[in-house]
Structure 1
């Protein structure tokens, strides 16, 4: 929900920026066709660009010692696998406000989409019970329904009392035919859907309103090609007392008459080059909201990334995959992406070789590593799933390791289900117990679980895991830590 909220803010700001540019610099100053293109592009870009994920690395200065909440009592594990999982600490029930907000949003969006479907179905009901006249590729539907004439895609709903062969009728028919031929209903449905799904984004309503007005300008322009502008303005005034048109259709009389009459026959033709003056602004504004801020270490942090197993030790097998290959791929992804996060990554196992546990620890000491992160995958019954994080409470870096593990769990939890506790192991884990720096071990899902296996075997997801690890390390370097997770005993 937080990510979706950020997305809505980005859409609102970008659409507001693009609409403001239109309102102050383009409105009533450009050709109507160009204005239509700009408004459609502004809506599409506003919705699409924030979905892009272009990392923008931000350096956060170190402001002091991180505040770490007191650790809960460590519950030692038994050293044996527990298919049901380790017992979780009970807590007082809390109201899941995030889920409540998301549910209310979904409910409101469903209601708005339902209203849109209701209005469309009303048009289909009207079409079925009315008289049809085929006029080329357009269907003229004669009806006594209020609000006619109006158009919807290739249907023109026509007032039975208005002769299509009269001068008045011919002008109005040309107007509605322009809506059909220029596919204005497609534009309108696109904006209606956006406004229903992203209803808190107010600038989208402004874009929709302006686009509907541009549609009328274009249709009026087509209608006056064979009609005196003064006579056509009179026709508009004669229909001013008609009932309001259908919500999802284009009604002849529906939009502000004063502006439409003022714009009849008025078509500004600026130099062609002037239209492209908006391009730098358009691209710059769009790019601004395509970036996703990611933390970058204010000081260079040296971290050993330890790919578990290797060489003659394949690790856990599952689904034709081997743990040693998956861990090496993830470690390499961390090393490849690290420069953008200001973290110096050293690989304890850069290739498919068997590296002794003591050599991994000596490697960290020799390079004066600030932290050590060991990458593994788990193996258990097929029902076990999710990422788990392990630390040790047996060495002098227990508190720092707990902070590091908590940050890892937080960032990894954003991309895949992750246990919200830190685990220890009753048995000896050398890379944790005897390390020369704060250390954490990540079990990146279960190779025995088809869903986990499918996730961790895809390079794109391995990059996601790598970025989550690097974001955690950048926060760790910057002293950005919150509440340390509970520590529980458990087995690998």
Structure 2
């Protein structure tokens, strides 16, 4: 079965979420305590946009890369893989009539959370459209001016600039406020917020991802303030005059309630004023700290995937399977110069570990599909499982058969520990095995 970028089983989902939390947590701490106070706004904006996507994709890309990474044969013979034969396999018996088991509920819960987050985002977009569809629009160069007549505050969304003409502003002040909103439009801040909301929905179980939208909105306000100061008239071009205008407008009793818009009077006022009056030079050496952090995260994720440091959860309290008495383990090798490999704890422990990771899929129980799934894999010279694939399956409806294949393949791929590789003439060699996982209905 080919690896995918989206986790489809409970062990994969838990491993992916834990590693994403590690990546995003490290990136957030770097921003919170090192980058946030600096004035390189463009760098911080890119950092806040792309590190959630890095945390989303990095664990899966590393997993795919490790599964496709070719192992160099230690025996000196290119591509040499010994055949280890058939290992003893467990028998999984269906017990009870539960419709769902733990490996099915958690991915469904995750997908339900994603759909809920996307639905809430769509509802916010619909609400914004409903509140603005009847307002008059005036196309201008690079943007569309939407006059709100006091119904909505001055803000921006996409190419729209929602303009509250009832606010008492002098021509110079109106020019400064308009320049601020034009900067939001020209720099594409709405698209950035929507992309961040999308990755936030995909990573909703990771707590750190919910801190990024407000941080990005703050950086976008800093950038728009800087652009407004460059384009403002001499009356409001100084940071002090502009800060006074910002404070006066922020004290108005009407506050915006459309969170997807960039509003001139959002509650970031004190931070924006402090940034406007800050004169400390930006310490740009801090930007390079992302390189060692990224290298460390990549190494950590790769080590977790390769060493199996994120094992699957224990089986549910209500047993869904029974372990048949294992047959005596067969002799894997005979002959001079070869030492058989070893699983930590022996063949009996191997069968026990496989059983802990297999439940009888609900789809197969409902379709009354039973039989043996043969899983073939390679134990590399380093003792890691590679190239696991399903060789044979029972006959039956496709969804039921695919569920059996997924259960058996996932159980083999997520086995804990590290094998002692086979030795031939004193050198470790890759060895191929097959484990039959039998599913039986009572």
Q: How would you bin the TM-score normalised by the shorter chain?
A: 0.5 to 0.7
Q: Deviations over 1:187-237 (max 9, x none)?
A: 211221222232222211222221111111111111112323222222212
TM-score, normalised on structure 1?
0.57
In structure 1, the partner of 2:426 is: none
In structure 1, the partner of 2:239 is: 229
How many angstroms apart in 1 are the aligned matches of 2:333 and 2:104? 46
Equivalent of 2:126 in 121, 128, 135: 121
Equivalent of 2:249 in 219, 232, 239: 239
In structure 2, the partner of 1:266 is: 278
How many angstroms apart in 2 are the aligned matches of 1:407 and 1:422? 20
CA contact (8 A) 1:148 1:158 kept: yes
How many angstroms apart in 1 are the aligned matches of 2:370 and 2:25? 42
Counterparts of 1:340-489 in structure 2, within 5 Å, are: 364-366=334-336, 370=340, 404=350, 444-445=391-392
Secondary structure in 2 aligned to 1:293?
helix
In structure 2, the partner of 1:83 is: none
1:185 equivalent in alignment to 2:190: yes
How many angstroms apart in 1 are the aligned matches of 2:390 and 2:209? 44
Q: Deviations over 1:233-266 (max 9, x none)?
A: 2221222123224111111111321111111143
In structure 2, the partner of 1:66 is: none
Deviation at residue 133 of structure 1 after TM alignment = 0.9
- After superposition, the Cα gap between the structure-2 partners of 1:17 and 1:295, relative to the gap in structure 1 and judged at 3 Å, is closer
In structure 1, the partner of 2:153 is: 148
- After superposition, the Cα gap between the structure-2 partners of 1:287 and 1:164, relative to the gap in structure 1 and judged at 3 Å, is farther
Secondary structure in 1 aligned to 2:391?
strand
Cα RMSD for the two superposed structures: 4.7
CA contact (8 A) 2:372 2:393 kept: no
Secondary structure in 2 aligned to 1:444?
strand
How many angstroms apart in 2 are the aligned matches of 1:131 and 1:489? 69
1:257 equivalent in alignment to 2:269: yes
- After superposition, the Cα gap between the structure-2 partners of 1:267 and 1:291, relative to the gap in structure 1 and judged at 3 Å, is farther
Secondary structure in 2 aligned to 1:132?
strand
Q: How many residues of Structure 1 are paired with residues of Structure 2 in the alignment? A: 341
Q: Deviations over 1:391-425 (max 9, x none)?
A: xxxxxxxxx767656766888999xx99998869x
Equivalent of 1:15 in 15, 18, 24: 24
1:160 equivalent in alignment to 2:170: no
CA contact (8 A) 2:354 2:411 kept: yes
In structure 2, the partner of 1:174 is: 179
CA contact (8 A) 1:132 1:142 kept: yes
Equivalent of 1:208 in 207, 210, 213: 213
In structure 1, the partner of 2:312 is: none
Secondary structure in 1 aligned to 2:138?
strand
Q: Deviations over 1:139-168 (max 9, x none)?
A: 111113644211111111111324898222
Secondary structure in 1 aligned to 2:392?
strand
How many angstroms apart in 2 are the aligned matches of 1:486 and 1:447? 11
1:248 equivalent in alignment to 2:253: no
- After superposition, the Cα gap between the structure-2 partners of 1:11 and 1:471, relative to the gap in structure 1 and judged at 3 Å, is closer
- After superposition, the Cα gap between the structure-2 partners of 1:286 and 1:220, relative to the gap in structure 1 and judged at 3 Å, is farther
Structure with bigger RCO (C-alpha 8 Å, 6+ apart)? 2
- After superposition, the Cα gap between the structure-2 partners of 1:443 and 1:288, relative to the gap in structure 1 and judged at 3 Å, is closer
How many angstroms apart in 2 are the aligned matches of 1:365 and 1:255? 77
How many angstroms apart in 2 are the aligned matches of 1:39 and 1:469? 38
Q: Deviations over 1:62-83 (max 9, x none)?
A: xxxxxxxxx99x9xxxxxxxxx
CA contact (8 A) 1:18 1:42 kept: yes
Deviation at residue 6 of structure 1 after TM alignment = 2.2
In structure 1, the partner of 2:77 is: none
Q: Deviations over 1:317-342 (max 9, x none)?
A: xxxxxxxxxxxxxxxxxxxxxxxxxx
- After superposition, the Cα gap between the structure-2 partners of 1:102 and 1:468, relative to the gap in structure 1 and judged at 3 Å, is closer
- After superposition, the Cα gap between the structure-2 partners of 1:486 and 1:192, relative to the gap in structure 1 and judged at 3 Å, is closer
Equivalent of 1:45 in 49, 54, 59: 54
- After superposition, the Cα gap between the structure-2 partners of 1:20 and 1:125, relative to the gap in structure 1 and judged at 3 Å, is same
How many angstroms apart in 2 are the aligned matches of 1:127 and 1:404? 64
- After superposition, the Cα gap between the structure-2 partners of 1:406 and 1:145, relative to the gap in structure 1 and judged at 3 Å, is farther
Q: Deviations over 1:56-112 (max 9, x none)?
A: 99xxxxxxxxxxxxx99x9xxxxxxxxxxxx96544648634434443443333222
Q: Deviations over 1:29-64 (max 9, x none)?
A: 24112221222232222222122215499xxxxxxx
1:4 equivalent in alignment to 2:13: yes
TM-score, normalised on structure 2?
0.63
CA contact (8 A) 2:139 2:145 kept: yes
CA contact (8 A) 1:406 1:485 kept: no
What are structure 2's unaligned runs of at least 5 residues?
A: 1-9, 70-88, 309-330, 374-388, 422-434
